[in-house]
A and B are shown apart, each in its own frame.
Chain A
Amino acid sequence: MSVAARRHPALTIGKYAALAFYLAFALFPLYWLLKIAITPDALIYSEGTRLFPSAVSFDNFRTVVFQTDFLAYFGNSLTVSLATAAITTLIAAAAGYAFSRFDFMGKRIIIALMLITQMFPLLMIIAPIYRIVGQLGLLNSLTSLIIVYTAFNIPFATFLMQSFFDGIPKDLEEAAMMDGCSRFQALRKVVFPLTLPGLGATLGFVFTAAWSELLFALMLISKNDAMTFPVGLLTFVSKFSVDWGQMMAAGVLALIPSCLFFIFIQRYLVQGLTSGAVKG
């Protein structure tokens, strides 16, 4: 490709045009979100559709942070997502290790079951889960969300962790075990430090997934003080549908944690996601 592009100047121009198109398509909606959020309220109706605002104000952010419940929603979402990410990564690392290092009876069945969970419509279990959670008295509690999200994310996280373990030579642990370590010690002292990047990537993926989950949160949470960010924002939108600036300011805030994690996991995307995605 690159050689061909060097030969034909028209191809080079076409390539840069395509790059520009992809960049604009990816970033324009996010730019617009930010633009409306920093446009002063008074100007939204007169220049809502102009490309650049003529004045900039951060009033919307101030209002959202100090006068609405979004900070509480933000805290709830952070609790749920962090707890889900931590627990899922721990469980998935153990399961991924078993898949990577052992050949045992029932392995194929368990892998098949995990693949099935990635295929069937998750909405199929929304009604049973609502009733079970209700009978346990856990409606409107963040605990129920953490348990449900953890289970949802384990299969993908397991396949992801397995691919990271597969990349670590078995000889390293065997050498450690020959020197008298138990398997668990070998795992802790030799394998664990080597999988840190993999653990980080898995944490990031699960965090992002939990942060953006909407439908189960809508179903299981109806009380204002237990709402996660998506539920809170959606409730806000349906109640005050003309406070454009404030809604978009809240949207920009919701974007921050995902973007931070994204920058962090970006490096592992091409290797990590694909090896997990092919199997999962």
Chain B
Amino acid sequence: MGHTFDGRIRQVESQPVTAKTNKNVMPGDTRARRSLYLQYLVEPFYYLSPAIILIGAVMMVPLIIGISYSFQSIELLNPFKNGWVGFENYGKLWGDRKFWIALENTFFWTFWSITFQFFLGLGLAMLLNTNFYGKKLFQALVFLPWAVPTFLSALTWAWLFNPVIGPLPHWLAALGILSEPYNILGDPDLAMWGPITANIWFGVPFFAITLLAALQSIPSELYEAAEIDGATPWQTFTKITLPFLAPMIAITVMLRTIWIANFADLIFVMTGGGPANSTQILSTYIFTTAFRKLDFGYASTIAVALLVILLIYAVILLWLRKKLVKI
């Protein structure tokens, strides 16, 4: 009752405003106040045009040019070969063993990075949602890795894995995981875990921040009611916390997966894709092909392939969501 009454007052109050400023034109009035209506249509674009122009010129146009590159041969080191080649690059991609290795590595890298980031981030968010002494300082300190520039995170972790100046190989050897303290970044079987560790370190704060905000939006009455009804902490977690977090978890994991699959900095700095391509993922393969070989045509072909894979992933996920929501 009070709510509708309130709403009516606000309606009454807002009417003189629109009448006086003439910014809000009722449908049907357009003929009489054509210029005002036009102005109403145009005004937002005064504010938007710089953003639209920059995004169009620096991202959208190059994106289309980039797709067209994948049908051309553009090698800066070999200018006589330039020209349209149709689907030749894609044929080459299909037969490229390095591409399939990189594709497999992309799945491995993305899956393990996101899994660890998510569970450690969820744990941290739940801890931060409780009360303890020195919480503000604690929160600032555990979120710090998120602010560390990625190239620096990569270098720092590469140094930590170096047996000369880093403690990690010695600890791993002491635990019996390594036979002797050597650099795992040089071992094709283990090298991928180096960048993954750095990525976990860098990414946990992001998940913690997002999930913490979602946790804080859960009404505390629900927990109080559960407490009165004698629910165990585990029941509270599975019956209240998880269902409330689920939409946030779904959207964060989806966005993060795409972001991590595209994320080349850490691997490029730590291993450069080596040893023997064991850490080469699609995005580092794109970058090394463009940057070291200056073969823009082929780099764009790999990029289009990555884009298609990500699109398929997004479509599957959206379809799954639709299905699950119906039930």
* A and B interact physically: yes
Q: Which residues of A contact B (CB under 8 A)?
A: 1-5, 15-16, 18-19, 22-23, 25-27, 29-30, 32-33, 36, 44-45, 48-49, 51, 91-92, 94-95, 97-98, 102, 104-105, 107, 110, 113-114, 117-132, 147-148, 150-152, 154-155, 158, 174, 177-178, 183, 208, 211-212, 214-215, 218-219, 230, 233-234, 237, 244, 247-248, 251, 254-255, 258-259, 261-263, 266, 269-271, 273-274, 277-278
Q: Closest CB of chain A to B47's CB: distance in Å? A: 4
Contact B44 A98 (CB under 8 A): yes
List 10 A-B pairs, Cβ < 8 Å.
A15-B132, A23-B141, A29-B153, A30-B145, A124-B286, A125-B65, A126-B286, A178-B16, A266-B143, A269-B143
Among B45, B51, B129, contact of A92 (Cβ-Cβ < 8 Å) = B51
> Is B175 an interface position by the 8 A CB rule?
no
- Chain B residues contacting A33 (CB-CB under 8 Å) are 152, 156, 159
Known: A29-B201, A105-B41, A278-B251. A259 touches B258 (CB 8 A): no
- Chain B residues contacting A123 (CB-CB under 8 Å) are 262, 264, 283, 286-287, 290, 299, 303
- Chain B residues contacting A150 (CB-CB under 8 Å) are 54, 58
Query: Secondary structure at chain B's binding surface: helix, strand, loop or mixed?
Result: helix
Contact A214 B151 (CB under 8 A): yes
Contact A214 B167 (CB under 8 A): no
Q: Closest CB of chain B to A158's CB: distance in Å? A: 6
Task: From B23, B142, B144, B152, name the one whose CB has the most chain A CB atoms within 10 angstroms.
Answer: B152
Contact B149 A212 (CB under 8 A): yes
> Smallest CB-CB separation from A245: which chain B residue?
B165
Number of interface residues of B (CB under 8 A): 101
- Chain B residues contacting A105 (CB-CB under 8 Å) are 41
> Is B43 an interface position by the 8 A CB rule?
yes
Contact B314 A119 (CB under 8 A): yes
> Is B57 an interface position by the 8 A CB rule?
yes
Contact B155 A124 (CB under 8 A): no
- Chain B residues contacting A98 (CB-CB under 8 Å) are 44-45, 47-48
Q: Which residues of B contact A (CB under 8 A)?
A: 14, 16-17, 20-21, 23, 40-41, 43-45, 47-48, 50-52, 54-55, 57-63, 65-66, 69, 74, 120, 123-124, 126-127, 129-132, 138-153, 155-157, 159-160, 163-167, 170, 201, 204-206, 209-210, 212-214, 216, 227, 233, 248, 251-252, 255, 258, 262, 264-265, 268-269, 283, 286-287, 290-291, 296, 299-300, 303-304, 306-307, 310, 314
Contact A113 B156 (CB under 8 A): no
Known: A22-B127, A269-B209. A259 touches B144 (CB 8 A): yes
